Amino acid sequence: MSEFSQKLGNSIIGSASPQVIVKVPGSTANLGPGFDTLGMALNLYAWIGMTLSERETEIHLHGEQMDGIPRDKSNLIYKVAQMVFAEAGVSHPELDIEMHSDIPLARGLGSSASAIVGALVAANALIGEPLTVDDLFQLATRLEKHPDNVGASLYGGLIAACWDGESPADIVRIEPPERLKVLVAIPDFGLLGDGAKTERVRHILPAQVPMRDAVFNVGRSSMLVAALCQGRLDLLARAMRDALHQPYRAALIPGMETILREATDHGALGVALSGAGPTLLALVDGAAGPPAALDAFLRETLRKEGIAAETMLLAPAAHGAQILTAADVRCTFLEKIKGEVRA
């Protein structure tokens, strides 16, 4: 068994197949006070199929989430695959690529990170896995510019990671508490993808912050990691508070301040902006039953601001990227993943 399979618990079916299919979870990043450092894999998935081809490259995208994604060699998955080949010292300029995703685009749920991780894992598998899991993590971090989303999608579970932009990134995986569930409210607009919005999201954060805010976040981030490691769900409300990015980004998401302030009064263990947003995330105790009151509060708060939102009750994804290859080449990509796609 390869190092990748040993470390990530991959399921390999029929390794003789010329097509590799990778199932990769979405994620939430910047978890509470853990700006660019804490992430969690979620059970929303993307599937990437990749085959070496002797013909012109073809890219087939399936599902409602694929609108606007390039279908030529400017596609992110193709470019990431070529980076893997270059790193391994091989040349495979033509590929057949397919993708289906249940992860909403530009909503702060790790859609780009899942594409990067899936492409890295698939391309590496196609050429015999010459790169280690850590090699893939380092490549992903450099591509995404921070390690929290890609680390969660690659390794699964909760991750704490750090990167200074130069040295290799470091990562530790944390097993999520069994009772932990995640209720997300996904507004019907994206903050990224539109040029003007992208610039606002990226530049709204200050270049410097007061010492008190830095100390505030160091304390909360440390407490959050300790609480998650020990299953201290009672500490999450205070440990999830943030002073570095959420107060600034709240201006872009009507209703966010109210949700951050009041969600715990409606059953949330803790609440945060997911990634750069606009999705809002509430941690809940799965043993307490369906969070109906919290769900209603999230929807109604956003509705009062004129925002329609979809809510989903998710769970931390225990596994990161998994290789799913199938020996029956007569099956189509969609047939191979049938039954796993979110209804």
**Rounded distance between C-alpha atoms, residue 158 and residue 29, angstroms:** 10
* Claim to verify: residue 161 and residue 207 sit in the same structural domain: no
Q: Where are the beta strands (DSSP E) in the chain?
A: 19-29, 38-52, 58-62, 95-101, 158-162, 170-174, 180-187, 270-273, 280-285, 309-314, 322-323
Domain range for 86 is 3-175+317-337
DSSP state, 14?
Answer: -
Report the chain's C-alpha Rg in angstroms.
20
**Rounded distance between C-alpha atoms, residue 192 and residue 107, angstroms:** 8
* Claim to verify: residue 291 and residue 321 sit in the same structural domain: no
Least confident of 48-62, 187-201, 308-322: 187-201
**Rounded distance between C-alpha atoms, residue 106 and residue 7, angstroms:** 30
The answer to whether residue 110 sits within a structural domain is: yes
Q: What is the CATH number for 250?
A: 3.30.70.890
**Rounded distance between C-alpha atoms, residue 215 and residue 212, angstroms:** 5
**Rounded distance between C-alpha atoms, residue 118 and residue 20, angstroms:** 10
* Contacts for 52 with CB less than 8 Å, ≥ 6 apart: 18, 92, 94, 95, 126
The answer to whether residue 242 sits within a structural domain is: yes
The answer to whether residue 342 sits within a structural domain is: no
Q: What count of other Cβ atoms lies within 10 Å of the Cβ of residue 152?
A: 33
* Claim to verify: residue 131 and residue 220 sit in the same structural domain: no
* Claim to verify: residue 24 and residue 136 sit in the same structural domain: yes
* Claim to verify: residue 39 and residue 142 sit in the same structural domain: yes
* Claim to verify: residue 305 and residue 325 sit in the same structural domain: no
* Claim to verify: residue 101 and residue 226 sit in the same structural domain: no
Q: Is the pLDDT of residue 12 over 50?
A: no
pLDDT (tens digit, 9 = 90+) per residue, 213-271?
999 999 999 999 999 999 999 999 999 999 999 999 998 999 999 999 999 999 999 99
Q: Are 23 and 317 in contact (CB under 8 A)?
A: no
**φ/ψ of residue 50, rounded to 5:** -145, 135
**Rounded distance between C-alpha atoms, residue 245 and residue 322, angstroms:** 32
Q: Distance of CA 13 to CAs 52, 130, 155, 191, Å?
A: 18, 19, 20, 39
Q: Is the pLDDT of residue 328 over 70?
A: no
Q: Which amino acid is at 170?
A: D
CA atoms within 13 A on the CB side of 307: 23
* Claim to verify: residue 258 and residue 138 sit in the same structural domain: no
* Claim to verify: residue 273 and residue 333 sit in the same structural domain: no
Q: What is the CATH number for 325?
A: 3.30.230.10
Q: Are 101 and 66 in contact (CB under 8 A)?
A: yes
The answer to whether residue 343 sits within a structural domain is: no
Task: Give the pLDDT score at 324.
Answer: 87
pLDDT (tens digit, 9 = 90+) per residue, 145-199?
999 999 999 999 999 999 999 999 999 999 999 999 999 999 998 765 444 454 5
The answer to whether residue 164 sits within a structural domain is: yes
Task: List, as own/partner pairs, every contact residues 174-179 make where C-beta atoms lie below 8 angstroms and the sequence separation is at least 24, other chains included.
Answer: 174/225, 174/228, 174/229, 176/40, 176/228, 176/316, 176/318, 177/228, 177/231, 177/233, 178/231, 178/286, 179/231, 179/233, 179/285, 179/286, 179/287
The answer to whether residue 81 sits within a structural domain is: yes
- How many residues in the chain? 343
β-strand 58-62 against 95-101: which pairing, if any? parallel
Q: Is the pLDDT of residue 2 over 50?
A: no
Which residue has 């951050």 as its token pair? Answer: 260
* Claim to verify: residue 168 and residue 236 sit in the same structural domain: no
The neighbouring-strand residues paired with 173 are 159
The pTM of the full predicted model, rounded to 2 decimals, is: 0.90
- Please state the domain count of the chain: 2
pLDDT (tens digit, 9 = 90+) per residue, 256-281?
999 999 999 999 999 999 999 999 99
Task: Give the pLDDT score at 330.
Answer: 62
**Rounded distance between C-alpha atoms, residue 20 and residue 120, angstroms:** 12
* Claim to verify: residue 327 and residue 310 sit in the same structural domain: no
pLDDT (tens digit, 9 = 90+) per residue, 97-114?
999 999 999 899 999 999
* Claim to verify: residue 191 and residue 302 sit in the same structural domain: yes
